[in-house]
Amino acid sequence: MARKKKVDSSVYRALTLILQFGLNMIVPIFMMTFLGIFIDNKAGTRYFVVILFFVGAIAGGQNVYRMAKGIYDKPKEGKTSKRENDNTDRETKAK
């Protein structure tokens, strides 16, 4: 009888994070680049694609930074999240 191997879920979490970081960086770059190409074709210019590429890169970097910060920032001791405060308020009002 074949035994099923237990797969560590942390591997899947790490792969998911890598995928999310990549998508958070690539999507704004592509969107802004294609917008720049569209504007350049309509206006007959050549510089919007370059400008919007860098705007997309900055936006993507900001997305990755915010995501990484959210992952690695832990709530401080004694403080609760907004969601926990809301739940506590509802329980208090219900009593």
Tens of each residue's pLDDT in the chain, 95 residues: 566 666 778 888 889 989 999 999 999 999 999 999 999 999 999 999 999 999 999 999 999 999 999 888 876 665 555 555 666 666 666 65
Number of domains in the chain: 1
Query: First and final CA of the chain: distance in angstroms?
Result: 56
42 inside domain: yes
What does residue 4 show for φ and ψ, rounded to 5 degrees?
-85, 135
Residue 55 has what pLDDT? 97
pTM flag (> 0.85): no
Q: Which domain holds residue 20?
A: 11-94
24 inside domain: yes
Distance CA 40, CA 53 (A): 13
3 inside domain: no
Residue 21 has what pLDDT? 93
Residue 8 has what pLDDT? 78
Of 32, 20, 22, nearest in space to 59 by CA: 32
